[in-house]
A and B are shown apart, each in its own frame.
Chain A
């Protein structure tokens, strides 16, 4: 990488998503962005700021507060030959569009016996940690990953925030991209000419021999911080970024577990009936005899998110909790 050092750029996750949108709008006339406040307001999280001026109101299209209506319109536009990027402000509001996402986008190809695919990309902010209380702090991406017929992406790095969108747009089927709102200000270094990345495989973000920590999105960043602390104590955690929650790339984490013999799943979603439960089951099915101990999970407490900061902090997976749990797992905690 040293020969490319001169061509690296530092940008935020937010800038990376905006660059990806701008790039897609430039490359393909069929692409347009549609959603609540994406135009004149500049995007609820300022992601699409400036795009209206560059591409005009036809292609950066403000919608009324009609989640079902405009998500469905995106599905129809995709069926009609366009490549819509529909922004639902946050995952919480996507519940108002569930009918269109689950009953239409995810089923059209199958119900029509392969005649009608739906090349739509639906982006939404997700996650808690900003004292927004129960109705604005959900992490439901694992819940969406239950549904056959859609792809579910959760970019955790600036590189993925920049690169996943174009690959998703090239995909013939519906792709949901979950951007953890807590990551928008995160900075990262990526090449000036950073481009599309795959949306099929998990990545080993940090190698280690003692335990496999499986995570994604904002929890991945916390897991990497925890791994840094643990490393100073001589515990080497291998940290896996799932990147895509559906379909799950189980090979990457099963191979890792086969090396480390321990697995911890860190997930901002709730524990019951969750993606963490699914990963745990896959490990039982695919790597049971490799395990030196039970699979552990660190998830959000099973409460609607409280507003008070100390309660919210306690409800979410945190770096210190990850560190404690890994210590226990490798048997070095006192």
Chain B
């Protein structure tokens, strides 16, 4: 089995600035998500809303391994990925408000955040639907001799879809530069992996396609970052696709409509003890990297960012009804 084929690089001694940057990134996501929940209750955000609380270390760690030239294909739980990629919190919230200044002009909402300048190819809300797209983006890069990586996020539910298996096979067969990142939060909506998969060890599925695979603690931002950097380097070097399983947990319900009948409160509480933000902050404190007031300053800054984003979204405008049928077909006919 081709798991962890390369010697793992030991993470270098943790640099204080970098550590604070990672902590800040995770806190920014958490602040955004908590505000989204509040705005949903206030009926400012409607539709489906899937929050990322608990999984922040995955997006933050993996995105550290990407360059601005790389591409990202994400899922419907993608607010954090968009934010860390550089889409402003204001544009993200405006999108969820349905305003025309939103990153998808209010046409997509929470599940369909897009940004062409940042090569952020969406929020795909069909489980598994983004994987073939990522394969194609990587194919285009390979055919055009770009040395770029396409990073594709998906959940554990996606591994049951045919598109997962078709994509693994194609990417491996054609040695395409795709970094597949499985955010395994243990539940496909409300169905635990053990009730839906004959083989619950997901790296074995990737290995079946001769794709280098590794599983990592998705609650540990440093572990995710190190593994993602290793994998991205191999992908970038032309070694073909890699599969990274990040074992994580979502603290909130699947969506705002989920009464959470399928898991025990005690289980959630147990996982919350492993909160990626709290455990990382504690580690930094223990190692003397988090000074008095650092955490508070980060929290304050995140709160300011999000409150400005809310004000921005509130002030944004509704697209005129006359524009309803725009963006069905391109307005210019030449490709």
Stretch from B18-26, B256-264, B268-276, B325-333 forming part of the interface with A: B325-333
**Structural contact, B166 and A115, CB atoms closer than 8 A:** no
**Structural contact, A112 and B163, CB atoms closer than 8 A:** no
Flag whether A210 is at the interface (Cβ < 8 A): no
Which B52-109 residues sit within 8 Å CB-CB of chain A?
Answer: 71, 73, 100, 102-108
Provide the A37-64 mask, 1 if CB < 8 A to any CB of B, else 0.
Answer: 0000000000000000000001000011
Flag whether A87 is at the interface (Cβ < 8 A): no
Which A150-196 residues sit within 8 Å CB-CB of chain B?
Answer: 151, 169-173
Q: How far, in angstroms, from A64 to B334 measured CA to CA in the complex?
A: 32
Nearest A residue to B148 by beta-carbon distance? A80
Which single member of A66, A79, A99, A104 contacts B169 (CB below 8 Å)? A66
Nearest B residue to A110 by beta-carbon distance? B327
Nearest B residue to A86 by beta-carbon distance? B136
Contacts of B136 in A (CB 8 A): 72-80, 84
Which single member of B104, B116, B144, B163 contacts A111 (CB below 8 Å)? B104
Shortest distance between the CB of B223 and any CB in chain A (Å): 29
**Structural contact, A71 and B132, CB atoms closer than 8 A:** yes
Shortest distance between the CB of B74 and any CB in chain A (Å): 13
Are A173 and B108 also in contact (CB < 8 A) when A32-B143, A82-B143, A111-B114 are? no
Which single member of A112, A171, A173 contacts B112 (CB below 8 Å)? A112
Are A171 and B116 also in contact (CB < 8 A) when A71-B132, A116-B121 are? no
**Structural contact, A172 and B333, CB atoms closer than 8 A:** yes
Contacts of A148 in B (CB 8 A): 328
Counting chain A CB atoms within 10 Å of each CB, which of B115, B134, B167, B331 scores highest?
A: B167
Which single member of B144, B163, B328 contacts A72 (CB below 8 Å)? B163
Contacts of B222 in A (CB 8 A): none
Which single member of A71, A114, A115, A171 contacts B326 (CB below 8 Å)? A114
Which single member of A74, A83, A111 contacts B335 (CB below 8 Å)? A83
Flag whether B173 is at the interface (Cβ < 8 A): yes
**Structural contact, A79 and B107, CB atoms closer than 8 A:** no
Flag whether A304 is at the interface (Cβ < 8 A): no
Are A77 and B139 also in contact (CB < 8 A) when A72-B132, A99-B126, A112-B114 are? yes
Contacts of A58 in B (CB 8 A): 143
Which single member of B106, B112, B129, B141 contacts A80 (CB below 8 Å)? B141
**Structural contact, B327 and A76, CB atoms closer than 8 A:** no
Nearest B residue to A109 by beta-carbon distance? B327
Which single member of B140, B143, B166 contacts A68 (CB below 8 Å)? B166
- Chain B: how many interface residues by the 8 Å CB criterion? 51
Q: How far, in angstroms, from A116 to B122 measured CA to CA in the complex?
A: 10
Are A170 and B105 also in contact (CB < 8 A) when A99-B129, A104-B129, A108-B122 are? no
**Structural contact, B166 and A66, CB atoms closer than 8 A:** yes
Nearest B residue to A114 by beta-carbon distance? B327
Which single member of B102, B106, B137 contacts A79 (CB below 8 Å)? B137
Flag whether B124 is at the interface (Cβ < 8 A): yes
**Structural contact, B129 and A100, CB atoms closer than 8 A:** yes
Q: How far, in angstroms, from A222 to B136 measured CA to CA in the complex?
A: 40
**Structural contact, A149 and B163, CB atoms closer than 8 A:** no
Flag whether A119 is at the interface (Cβ < 8 A): yes
Q: How far, in angstroms, from A148 to B328 measured CA to CA in the complex?
A: 7
Contacts of B207 in A (CB 8 A): none
Q: How far, in angstroms, from A148 to B107 measured CA to CA in the complex?
A: 15
**Structural contact, B132 and A69, CB atoms closer than 8 A:** yes
Contacts of A151 in B (CB 8 A): 329
Flag whether A273 is at the interface (Cβ < 8 A): no
**Structural contact, A112 and B107, CB atoms closer than 8 A:** yes
**Structural contact, B112 and A111, CB atoms closer than 8 A:** yes
Contacts of B126 in A (CB 8 A): 99, 103-104
Flag whether B138 is at the interface (Cβ < 8 A): yes
Q: How far, in angstroms, from A79 to B169 measured CA to CA in the complex?
A: 21
Are A112 and B169 also in contact (CB < 8 A) when A104-B129, A172-B332, A172-B333 are? no
Which B143-199 residues sit within 8 Å CB-CB of chain A?
Answer: 143-144, 150, 162-163, 166-167, 169-170, 173
**Structural contact, B167 and A69, CB atoms closer than 8 A:** yes
Shortest distance between the CB of B123 and any CB in chain A (Å): 8
Nearest B residue to A81 by beta-carbon distance? B140
Flag whether B135 is at the interface (Cβ < 8 A): yes
**Structural contact, A171 and B333, CB atoms closer than 8 A:** yes
Flag whether A117 is at the interface (Cβ < 8 A): yes
Contacts of A69 in B (CB 8 A): 132, 135, 162-163, 166-167, 169-170
Shortest distance between the CB of B319 and any CB in chain A (Å): 9
Contacts of A171 in B (CB 8 A): 333, 335
Contacts of A110 in B (CB 8 A): 107, 327-328
Shortest distance between the CB of B77 and any CB in chain A (Å): 16
Flag whether B37 is at the interface (Cβ < 8 A): no
Flag whether B133 is at the interface (Cβ < 8 A): yes
Counting chain B CB atoms within 10 Å of each CB, which of A64, A79, A169 scores highest?
A: A79
Q: How far, in angstroms, from A73 to B121 measured CA to CA in the complex?
A: 14
Contacts of A83 in B (CB 8 A): 335
Contacts of B235 in A (CB 8 A): none
Which B273-332 residues sit within 8 Å CB-CB of chain A?
Answer: 326-332
Flag whether A70 is at the interface (Cβ < 8 A): yes
Query: 21 A-B Cβ contacts within 8 A?
Result: A32-B143, A66-B162, A68-B166, A72-B132, A74-B136, A75-B132, A76-B132, A76-B133, A80-B144, A82-B143, A99-B129, A103-B126, A104-B129, A112-B104, A112-B114, A113-B105, A113-B114, A114-B331, A115-B114, A117-B330, A170-B335
- The 9 A-B pairs with the shortest beta carbon distances in the complex, nearest first, are A76-B136, A72-B132, A80-B140, A113-B105, A69-B166, A66-B166, A112-B114, A73-B136, A172-B330
Interface positions of A (Cβ within 8 A of B): 32, 58, 63-64, 66, 68-84, 99-100, 103-104, 108-117, 119, 148-149, 151, 169-173
